[in-house]
Amino acid sequence: MTVLDEARAWIERDPDPETRNELEALIDRNALSALEERFSGTLEFGTAGLRGLLGAGPNRMNRVTVSHATAGLCAWLARQVPDASTRGICVGRDARPNSDVFERDVVEVAAAAGIPVFVFTDVVPTPVLAFSALRLRTAAGVMITASHNPPGYNGYKVYWENAAQIIPPNDAGIAKQIALAATRSIGRMPLAEARAAGLVREIDELRSEYVAAIADEVQHAPERPPLRIAYTALHGVAEDGLRAVLSRGGFEDVHSVAEQAKPDGDFPTVDFPNPEEAGSMDRVLALAVEVGADLVVANDPDGDRVAAAARRDGGFEVLSGNDIGVLLADDLLRQNEASKPVVLSTVVSSPMLGPVAARHGARWEQTLTGHKWIQNRALELEAEGYTYVFGYEEALGYAPSTLVRDKDGISSALRLADLAARAKARGETLVDLRDALFREHGVVADRQVSIRFEGADAQAKMRSVVDRVRVDPPARVGCVPVVRVSTPDDTVVVFELEGGHRAMLRPSGTEPKLKYYFYAVGRVEPDGDLAVAKAKAHTLLDRLATDLT
């Protein structure tokens, strides 16, 4: 078939008039390159399920690809989870364009397959969906979200029956069933009929259950003073849940960036709705100055990540993802009273978690990148008798509770507020606490550099860069000798450098970006100047980043 034939065949089975019109216009203009981009491949079912640009064709997020994904998921559940037809699946959505339409497609396709569906009546943060899947013990969970991706993207995130994100062999099994589903007609039960058959149940009560369960894990210290928080939801869906959790946790003085508070999938005030991106927190930092905040907090659009800034020298310092992760880990380990504690982080996260864990007598493990690996490994360790305390990845993803088997930007924000308030009682900030860890364990300065790739072949381009470096690694990075090269999987290359420094690169699993990670370590003598040690580490970071990127 030619690409024109493929496009015409797609139009015949596409239930969405918008994407049908898109293809018809491209056919009328004989826009072959645009058609090739849409039909040159299929969205890869991988790290986050599906994620891609909205539009027509198998290489885009649309009603057809969502229906195929759901049919494939249901077919795999029927093979692997014997009671899936009674346990059902839990489904949620964010506020991006078409999220509501895609959610309905999931419901109707699953119902036609005889699988009950538990749904919310409105948008919901990803952590609430993950919490609900665990609380209800559903056979799977589906979240319609593209998280922190730019406008124009959407996605399909899958949780398995253990309420953690899917890993092998289930991801490959689902992908195989999706491919089979794409070759046949997909059954669909209209929503009204599915409701009448008792195959759809609304679960809005799980929102308040999440708020109570998460907030009640944090004890109100009697010496904890009031804390003023400046907050932004970045046009996402976390505002209401975050405020409810903070309020129940004893934090009422929360000031939001008004123009970013309501869900808006077009993200009109930010280029990229990701707190990691330069400029994304400008408005909340300005608000923090205006209201005299003690702490700055930002969630990404689906609420599973959190960024923070703390007072320093009359202004605010934005903490790195590793700063936040190590601070939360140290605090949670201090509070832990259970035996055999374990904390986890990913291979691209700061090695500083190692000595922090050792200081508290805890086990530290590193996993491949992503909370799907952290949480599934945590479940294995729990089965061996260990007590999970905390897991994190440097990309602002933290999991401080076993109530959510994924990163949770809302519960993490509460933990940060609690830690900041207790520090305030001693006249300190989160920056002071971070610096105290540097003095105890040595400075570990970190930097991430991302290079964005465009086009349908973005993933292939990024992987070719990684492959070249793997096959022909440099002998030095930034004039520092490479002492070891490791490849934890086929997408990550790690350079262990002389002196304990590190450099890494990997393609993002959720965005068309090639990510480089750099770590420079430095010892601080008991009477040494911390500022000097930091400056030396950051100078080395400059050299490492300039050389490798």
pLDDT in tens, 382-396: 999 999 999 999 999
Looking up tokens 């897991």 gives 391
Rounded to the nearest 10 degrees, the angle between the axes of helix 205-215 and helix 126-136 is 100
- List, by residue number, the catalytic residues: 147
For residue 104, count other CB atoms closer than 10 A to its CB: 20
Q: Tell me the C-alpha distance between 404 and 382, whole Å.
A: 15
pTM confidence score: 0.96
Q: Tell me the C-alpha distance between 185 and 442, whole Å.
A: 60
Q: Tell me the C-alpha distance between 61 and 53, whole Å.
A: 6
One DSSP character per residue, 403-440 reads TSSS--HHHHHHHHHHHHHHHHHTT--HHHHHHHHHHH
Phi and psi at 310, nearest 5°, equal: -130, 160
Element (H, E) at 157: strand 153-159
pLDDT digit string, tens, across residues 310-367: 999 889 999 999 999 999 999 999 999 999 999 999 999 999 999 999 999 999 999 9
Burial state string for 296-326 with b = 16 or more CB within 10 A and e = fewer than 16: bbbbbbbbbbbbbbbbbeeebbbbbbbbbbb
**pLDDT, average across residues 205-231:** 94
pLDDT digit string, tens, across residues 282-308: 999 999 999 999 999 999 999 999 999
What's the token pair of residue 388?
């999970």
Burial state string for 462-500 with b = 16 or more CB within 10 A and e = fewer than 16: beeebeeeeeeeeeebbebeeeeeeebeebbbbbebeee
Does position 510 have pLDDT exceeding 90, yes or no?
no
One DSSP character per residue, 357-391 reads HHHTT-EEEEESSSHHHHHHHHHHHHHTT-EEEEE
pLDDT digit string, tens, across residues 200-216: 999 999 999 999 999 99
Does position 448 have pLDDT exceeding 80, yes or no?
yes
For residue 367, count other CB atoms closer than 10 A to its CB: 21
Q: How many helices (H) and strands (E) does the chain have?
A: 19, 21
Q: Which amino acid is at 475?
A: A
DSSP annotation of 258: G
Structure confidence at residue 219 (pLDDT): 86
Percent of the chain topping pLDDT 70: 99
Helix (H, G, I), strand (E, B) or coil at 312: strand
Structure confidence at residue 229 as a pLDDT band (50, 70, 90): very high
Does position 218 have pLDDT exceeding 80, yes or no?
yes
For residue 432, count other CB atoms closer than 10 A to its CB: 14
Structure confidence at residue 95 as a pLDDT band (50, 70, 90): very high
Q: Tell me the C-alpha distance between 51 and 54, whole Å.
A: 9
Q: Lowest mean pLDDT: which of 41-55, 147-161, 440-454?
A: 41-55
Q: Tell me the C-alpha distance between 342 and 367, whole Å.
A: 13
Q: Tell me the C-alpha distance between 50 and 60, whole Å.
A: 10
Q: Tell me the C-alpha distance between 331 and 212, whole Å.
A: 21
Burial of 82 (C-beta count, 10 Å sphere; 0-12/13-18/19+) = exposed
Does position 403 have pLDDT exceeding 90, yes or no?
yes
Structure confidence at residue 456 as a pLDDT band (50, 70, 90): low
Does position 48 have pLDDT exceeding 80, yes or no?
no
Q: What share of the chain is helix, strand, coil (3-state, %, to 5)?
A: 40, 20, 40
Helix (H, G, I), strand (E, B) or coil at 144: strand
**pLDDT, average across residues 493-516:** 91
Question: What is the C-alpha radius of gyration for the chain, rounded to an integer number of angstroms?
Answer: 24
Contact criterion met (CB below 8 Å) for 383 and 360: no
Q: Lowest mean pLDDT: which of 6-20, 164-178, 499-513?
A: 499-513
Does position 47 have pLDDT exceeding 70, yes or no?
no
Phi and psi at 195, nearest 5°, equal: -65, -45
Structure confidence at residue 306 (pLDDT): 98
pLDDT digit string, tens, across residues 143-201: 999 999 999 999 999 999 999 999 999 999 999 999 999 999 999 999 999 999 999 99
pLDDT digit string, tens, across residues 50-92: 999 999 999 999 999 999 999 999 999 999 999 999 999 999 9
How close are the terminal C-alpha atoms of the chain, in Å?
41
Average model confidence (pLDDT) across the chain? 95
